Each structure stands twice: as structure tokens, then as C-alpha cells.
Amino acid sequence: MSRTVLESLNSGLLEALGSSPDVLLLGEDILDPYGGAFKVTKGCSTKYPQQVITTPISEAGLAGLASGLALRGLRPVVEVMFGDFITLMADQLVNHIAKFRWMYNDTVNLPLVIRTPMGGRRGYGPAHSQTLEKLFMGIPGLTVVSPNHLLPEGSIEPGEQLKRLILETSEPVLFVENKLQYLLPLLTQTGLSEFDVHERYAAEDEKRLFPIRTLEVAGAPKPVCTIAAYGYMSELCLDAVKKLAYDHEIFCRLVIPTRLAPFHTDSIEESVLETGRLVIVEEGTLTMGWGAELTARVAEILGARLEKVGRVGAKDTPVPAAATLEQQTLPQVDTIVDAVLRLAGKNG
Amino acid sequence: MTDSELVLYRAMLRIRRFEETILEQFKRGLFSGTTHTSLGQEANAVGVISQSLPDNVIVTNHRCHGHYLAYGGDMRALFAELMGRSTGICGGRGGSQHIHWRNLYSNGVQGGIVPIAAGMALAEKRKGKDISVTVFIGDGTFGEGVIYEAFNFASLWQLPLLIVVENNHIAQTTPSELALAGSIKKRFEAFGIPAVELDTSDVMEIAGEASQLYAEIHENISPRALILNTRRFGPHSKGDDTRSGEEVARMRLERDPLSILESRLPAHDVAEVVSQVEEEVRIAFDLALADPPALFPERGS
């Protein structure tokens, strides 16, 4: 049985703690035997008791505390129990953490990783199921990362990416996990044998921390639609790509960035130059989302060469608790398939 | 004691003349943006920071010029920062209230910097360094919830943190009786943070108390609070004072830290310091004025 994203992240944290005494893990309910609400921190406090600090329920204060630790040379990593609670940190993230390095004229470093699970499909209801990272993607100075479990040969897995960010970043990182992604097995080349998988890095990503992956059905004709997605949505898109290929003979290329901000759209643009069509998939509400910005950027660069564009996101309502309502609210494989069919189907 | 008093007098006068120059020159359009002067509160910055160990960390707020100058910051660089010159402390990026130099850090948003100060204190404690962190806040900051999270951290983890409250009894234009319930001192005590309260503008009294508190913080590695009841002579920023002229005049008469100390110093020493500080401020101002404006490098260069 392949390891899961959760196990990978857990190893990454343990390895980061073991690599340097400057790494501190802070968060609510992260001590063993509980090991965090989603168990990502399990074993950390047992193995590294001096480096793991359980905190009061004080998200705003915790973000500030971590920023102070980072400004004075340590490497804190913070767990926020639910992504929804990131709003409690907004002043710290926007007015302090994201600003310090720049407003102090690049005289300080702020090596800080804040990781948190977003996403629904667990029936947790309106204030425990949101996908809110879009609120922080347009904040200069803040890097937003979404790890991915679809791994070409030799690629870095989610835990390795987390570990390297903790140990190597000099800037604040919002590391966005996803509750359902935790349970997914890491899909390496064997698990992805139906696909041609490629990986690249942006030129400015000198440390090669943020792989950008592309997948398409192996041996298929030239793709006619590009699908952009990240995090758990990439898993749904993988199913959609298969369904489109086998049921509809429509072939797509899936592009998966792992760094969401600052924006880097080269890979998506290059793919759209071949396909002319772009469907962007996100779990957050559609309005003012990742897809909106991505669409604008790709359209600005490609002009009419972007022939058609579609977006798939959550309905613009809170996420309901009831499983049936939640399913109607959040993107599903079928909604992605439908969106591609609208652009690239017989009538597209 | 006279030597030390004269040193503190000079330090306070540097702040006084710097701030007065800022307000004067703002009218001439030589500064842009805004500013918050610490006129009348000079004894707080000088009294506390004169007793802080050289490696200690100072964390401050929108009203930070006095803290920066008392900490030893270069006057020309502060003028230049406010004028938007490339030689400014932060190259013109931060302006009046967002500065960093050596171990001094400021941000202009109320309250948010307090948990950051706690984090810095935790960092120094973990590193085993004999370094404490001092954070300056005002009475207005007590409306921000995040400071109580930070007070809890400081006490819970026994952090080497001195929280200095400059209670000038007015937050921008709102008198504290319209904003503050109960007692500031009891708020600290509720968290188990020992707090001392003074109602003075005598820098020697403030320095004496600060010295004692630093000794305790460094000896016991634990937080302390110092509440300084003080008077703000100037407007909140440039010209937004809603208080009566009589009220401010009475403050100046009764609570001027410079006059209070001056009465104990030989007149010829005072005169010498006054003329030296005048010269220093004039030179710093002129140099900053002649410095090149801050500009981002052109694209592609």
C-alpha cells in the first residue's frame, strides 16, 4: 500500500524537526497522544518534545508569535487546525508577516511556514469546510503553496516539499493542505501508468521547491483542452480527464501548479497555445477566485489565442453541512466533465 | 548623578527638537504622508531605553521616533525616511511608522506587534541569550484583543518581555474614559504579569523603575509591565488636536520632562547642550534634504 499524503506530511515534519533545533512546531492540540486534529503532527512531540509547543486557542496571537520567532532567527512552522480559522490571522498575515521583509527594505528574513487544511466533503458545515486561500493569493510578500500527490519519477513528494520549505525558506509561506487530500495515496509513476506525466520548475524557482506538473492520457491524440487545478481538485480532475477520454474521446492536458502565489502562468499559457481552451477548477467559491485571476492573466498574454475559457468552483454560498447539499455545492468530477464538454464537446 | 542627568537631558532634547522640526517643516511641504510625534513623552523613551541592555530588542508603534532616537538611531536617516529619501532607515519604504534598525522594529497597526514581541522574547529565551524584549504600546492599544493573547503567552511561558504602556489618556482624539473600562494595571495582574504604575514626567524616576524591572526580567526570565501615565503635547498626528489650548498649555507647564530635569541642571551645561543639539538637528535635516529621492531601479537595469 502506497503512503498517503498525510503520512508524507507527517514524515516531512518529523524530518524537519530532526534536521535543526531551530525548527519549532506550534499549534493547537498538536501534542501526542492526540497529535493534531488531523494527525499530521502525530509523533512529533514524543520525538522532539523541546521543539513542539502546544498553544492556547489564539490564532492571531500565534501568527504574531511565530513571526517574532522567525524575525529573531528561528524556523517556526505553525499548524492552524482548520483553514477557516486563517481569517483570525488576517491582520498578522497581511499587515505584519507579508510586509516586514519589504517594508524594512529587505533587511530581515521571515522563515515561517503556516500550514492548514482547507476544504469540505467531510460534513463539517459552513465555518469548517471552506477553501479560503484565494483571500491570501493577492498579498505581496506571501507565498501560497498547495502540495500535490501526483508524482512523476524523481519528483518531490508533499512531505519533502514541506520539509524543504521549513528548512530553506526565507519568506513566509502559507502551505494549504486539504482534508480529503490527506487520505489520498501518493501516486507515483506506477499508479499513473495511464498518463504521461511531466514536471518543470519556473525559472525563478532556483531552489526547485515548487514543481509544476502536467498530465495527459498516454498515447492519446493531441489535447484539445487545458485543465488547471491544484490540491485535491487535481484528483477530481484526473478522474475527469479519464472520463472525458474514455467516454467522450475528448483529450485534455491537466496542469497542476504547487505554488499559487506569486502567480506563475507560463505552463498554463504554453498548454493553452496548443489547446486554445482552458478550464480552471477550484474548490473555493467562484467569485474573485483563483480562476478569475488566472483567466485575466492568460487572456492578457494570449489574447484571441485563448479561444474559450470556463471556470469550475463552489457555488457562491456557504458550504452546507448535509452531505447531499454539500455535494450540490462543491465541484464534482461531473461538473468538471460538463465544463470541458461545454468548451470542447460536439457543441463546444 | 549630574553627568547621567545631562546625558538623559540631551537624549530627550534631541527627540523634542526632532519632533518640533518635523511639525514645522510639514507645513512647508518637505515631508509627505503623516507623522506621530512624541512631544511631551520624551522621558518614557529615554527613561526606559537608557536602562535597556545594548543587545535587547525594542518593539514600537506608530509613535516611534522617540524610541528610535533614544535607542541610538541616526537622526539624518530618520529625517530622510520621512522625506522619502534613499538614505532613509528603510530606503523610504516604511516612512514614519514602519521602521527597523538593528534590534528595533516598529509597525503602525495597533496591537499586532505585541504577540510578535512575545515571539521575539520566546526566541531569545530559547537561544539562551541574556536578551529581553521591550514593547511600547499606548492606552488606545488596549482596545485590541490580540494583546491579551500575547499577555497570556508572556505569562504562560515566562517570557523576558517588558510591556511599557505610555498612557497619554487620549487615543487619537478619543479620551481614554470613553474607551477604557476598569484598570490597565489590573488587566496585567489578571494574567499574572507584575505591573508597576508611575504618574510622572521625571526621566530619572522612570529610568530608576525601568532599571529595577530590567533587573527582574533578566534575573527571573519573566515578563513585567510598566505603566507610564504621561502627557501628549502635540496632536495625534499633524494638526488633529481636539483638545483646548488651555488644557495643552497646562500640561506643558506641569508635565514637561525637559523643564523638570532642567531645573536640576547647571544653566551653563543646559545652554551648551541646547546649542549642540540645535546644530545636530540642523545638520541632520540639511543632509537629509540634500539626499536623493528614493526610487526603485528601472525595469531591466
Minimum-distance CB partner of B112 among A62, A92, A102: A92
A58 touches chain B (CB under 8 A): yes
* Residues of chain B positioned with their CB less than 8 A from the CB of A100: 100, 105, 107
Residue A30's nearest CA partner among A43, A18, A14, A47 is: A43
B148 Cα distance to chain centroid? 21
Beta A75-79 vs A113-118: how paired, if at all?
A: parallel
Q: What's the confidence (pLDDT) of residue A347? A: 67
Q: State which residues of chain A have pLDDT below 70.
A: 1, 347-348
Q: Report domain A195-344's class.
A: alpha beta
B276: its cell numbers: 549642540
Quote helix, strand, coil % in chain B, to nearest 5.
50, 15, 35
Closest Cα partner for B273 from B11, B1, B4, B2? B11
Structure-block grid coordinates of residue B61: 508603534
Q: Which residues of B touch A102 (CB under 8 A)?
A: 93
Residue range A268-308, pLDDT digits in tens: 999 999 999 999 999 999 999 999 999 999 999 999 999 99
Instruction: Establish if A31 touches chain B: CB-CB under 8 angstroms.
Output: no
Fold of A5-183: Rossmann fold (3.40.50)
Q: Which among B113, B146, B161 is the top mutation candidate for probing chain A, defined by the most A β-carbons within 10 Å of its own β-carbon? A: B146
Residue pairs spanning A and B at CB distance below 8 A: 117
Domains A5-183 and A195-344 share a fold: yes
ipTM: 0.96
Full-model pTM: 0.96
Q: Does A20 touch chain B (CB under 8 A)?
A: no
List, in order, residues 6 or more apart from B248 with CB less than 8 Å away.
Answer: B233, B241
> What is the distance in angstroms between the Cα of A208 and the nearest Cα belonging to chain B?
24
Q: Tell me whether residues A95 and B123 touch, CB distance under 8 A.
A: no
Task: Show the domains of chain B with their CATH numbers.
Answer: 2-70+98-284 (3.40.50.970)
Grid coordinates representing A174? 502559507
Residue A95 and residue A64: Cα distance in Å, rounded? 11
Q: Do A96 and B100 touch (CB under 8 A)?
A: no
Residues of chain B short of pLDDT 50, as ranges, are: 1, 301
The predicted structure's pLDDT at residue B1: 45
Mind listing the pLDDT tens digit for each residue in A107-122?
999 999 999 999 999 9
Q: What is the dihedral of CA A96, A102, A108, A109, to 10 degrees?
A: 80
Domain boundaries, chain A: 5-183, 195-344
Among B94, B114, B120, the residue with its CB nearest the CB of A103 is B94
Q: How far is B121 from chain A (nearest CA, A)?
A: 8
- CA nearest neighbour of A113 among A97, A132, A128: A97
SS3 at position A303: helix
User: How far does B99 lie from chain A, in Å, by closest CA?
Assistant: 6
